[in-house]
């Protein structure tokens, strides 16, 4: 049983002897609503983040506060335009050495984020990149609509 609001939109068979997704996925792409900001304001926050040498944030790890630099894991950020309640942020976030959560990205950007939807998990190997479980556009649209 999954928590309320979590829907499975894709599944696949994993062949014996293959790595887990956690081992293979190198980055994830996210669509994130940023309420109460204009695309111009979001573009400014994105520019500051991408121009920064480091994006330090505080995280709790094993019961103690640590400061981690998110900048190496922030691979791409862009504003996809206005939303009815603010702006839409597109983000590609690395998973190594540790994955970046949208809430941590919000802390680094200095904004509050609304609903977040992971749209892709990318595996890179031998110069190629692919999504192991691409959700159909229709299924993803239904999930996004339910989350709104």
Domains of the chain: total: 1
Whether 103 maps to a domain, the answer reads yes
Whether 62 maps to a domain, the answer reads yes
Whether 14 maps to a domain, the answer reads no
Tens-place pLDDT, residues 110-124: 999 999 999 898 988
Whether 3 maps to a domain, the answer reads no
Alpha-carbon distance of 99 to 60, in angstroms, equals: 14
Whether 16 maps to a domain, the answer reads no
Whether 4 maps to a domain, the answer reads no
Question: By residue range, what is the domain housing residue 100?
Answer: 21-147
Helices (H), the chain: 21-24, 39-51, 102-109, 137-147
Whether 12 maps to a domain, the answer reads no
pLDDT, position 134: 61
By the 10 Å C-beta count (0-12 exposed, 13-18 middle, 19+ buried), 17 is classed as exposed
pLDDT band at 147 (very low <50, low <70, confident <90, very high): very low
């Amino acid at each position: 049983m999954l928590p309320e609001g979590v829907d499975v939109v894709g599944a696949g068979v994993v062949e014996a002897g293959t790595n887990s997704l956690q081992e293979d996925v190198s980055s994830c792409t996210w669509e994130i609503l940023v309420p109460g900001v204009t695309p111009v304001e979001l573009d400014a926050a994105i520019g500051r983040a991408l121009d920064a040498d480091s994006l330090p944030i505080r995280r709790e790890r094993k019961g103690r506060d640590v400061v981690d630099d998110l900048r190496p894991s922030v691979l791409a950020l862009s504003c996809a335009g206005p939303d009815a309640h603010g702006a839409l942020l597109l983000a590609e976030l690395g998973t190594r050495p540790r994955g970046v959560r949208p809430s941590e990205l919000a802390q680094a950007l200095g904004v509050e984020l609304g609903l977040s939807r992971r749209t892709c998990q990318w595996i890179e190997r031998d110069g190629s990149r692919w999504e192991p479980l691409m959700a159909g556009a229709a299924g993803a649209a239904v999930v996004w609509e339910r989350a709104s």
